[in-house]
Chain A
Amino acid sequence: MSDQPVLKIENLTKTFEMEYGKVFLFGGLCAEIEKGDFAAITGPTGVGKTTLINIIAGLEPPSQGTVTVLGKDIASMDDAATTQFRGRNIGIVFQEPRLLADVNVFENVELPLVIQDVEESERRDKTKEILDFFGLTRKASVYPAALSAGESRKVAIARALVTEPHILLMDEPTGGLDASTINILTPLLRGIHYLHKGTILMATNSLNLARIASREVPITRPRIMMTCQS
């Protein structure tokens, strides 16, 4: 396990059937991410960065190739095993913050620990600690609708990190944010890598943001095979 890469992508392709034909994403992508790496998945909009994040997280199956996360082929596991594996080892920050609207910030951040059946006192301590790290303690009882875009992102990142996952997947963590919020979040992401010590994989089309990563996984443009109309 210690010699293995945390994430190994071999010959990965994802195919989508469209009205006009087939779209082939990734073109047989191969990549290896070692423990502690901070990798940026880069490429313009529409190349499949979100799809790649979803495949690594086991939320979508690949069409061809294998994705091995912490030594396990994620596509070969059944749904219950994938869900359990994801909950224990992978933290996900979606493109949108995807917070639960009917519960407050504290409960949103606490949710992964509730799912993992962590004891209540430990749950509360961990949640308080991470809210404190992100400077969100005063917002703990606030509902997501009352948060700014930057604060919502911070809550989403805190929620992904509260279980101390081996891998943190972030999909466009600064996407759709204004410049001043990006300026606040960027050093925070760098700080997370320093403190988290786990592996971080971040999908971004921002070159500035990709620069804070220690390595880059570029994705090539999709190949489109048009269907002949008779």
Chain B
Amino acid sequence: MDLNRYLFTSTNRSEVLTALEIALSTTAALILGSSGFVGWFSLIMSAGGLLFGVFLVTMFAISLQVSSKEKEVAIMRALGAKGSTILRGFLIRLALVTICGCLLGVLIGYSLASLSAECSLLSVEAVGLTALFSLISCFSGGLVAAKRVLHLKIGEVLR
């Protein structure tokens, strides 16, 4: 069932901004994570903080997206579309935004870190871990927000 074309007809500006925000945070986390000039504890705290920030940003962005599509979701649910089907649509979109943002962040972060002499800890493992944590943070943030479509009070929204 291709309901996505009804929900997402064009690229949403907020999605582009979210992807850029994810890219920026991933870049910062990667550079910070591969820098040798701070101690391990502060390094973990800073990179962790950035990734928690990206969790909140994604949660907020997806929450806004769900709110802006509330009427469309309610109409579809009233016409017989399952909540899980609509949630899947949001999650596919979220996955695309998250993957694009993380890839862009890793590319920029790796390029900048390679050029800098300070980033002595730059390695494939560091890049992989940053990308993985970034993906998990973003996706879980988005999932928390997107699950709202399952609990939408259709009758109230359509009044």
Contact surface of A with B, Cβ cutoff 8 Å: 50-51, 54, 57, 59-60, 79-80, 83-84, 86-88, 92, 94-96, 98, 100, 102-103, 107, 111-112, 114-117, 159
Q: Is the CB of A112 within 8 A of B158?
A: no
Contact of B6 among A50, A94, A107 (CB under 8 A): A107
Decide yes or no whether B21 CB sits under 8 A from chain A.
no
Contact surface of B with A, Cβ cutoff 8 Å: 1-3, 5-6, 9-10, 71-72, 75-84, 153-156, 158-159
A98-B71, A117-B1 known; A83-B159 Cβ under 8 A: no
Q: Interface SS of chain A: helix, strand, loop or mixed?
A: helix
Q: Enumerate the 8 nearest inter-chain pairs by beta-carbon distance, A residue then B residue, closest first.
A: A87-B80, A59-B155, A60-B155, A102-B9, A54-B155, A115-B81, A59-B154, A112-B79
Kindly list 6 other residue pairs between chains A and B, CB separation below 8 angstroms, not including A84-B80, A88-B80. Answer: A59-B155, A60-B155, A80-B82, A83-B83, A103-B9, A112-B79
List, in ascending order, chain B residues with CB within 8 A of A57's CB.
Answer: 78
Q: List 12 A-B contacts (CB under 8 A).
A: A59-B78, A60-B155, A80-B84, A84-B80, A86-B80, A92-B78, A100-B75, A102-B6, A103-B9, A114-B6, A115-B3, A115-B76
List, in ascending order, chain A residues with CB within 8 A of B2's CB.
Answer: 114
List, in ascending order, chain B residues with CB within 8 A of A100's CB.
Answer: 6, 72, 75
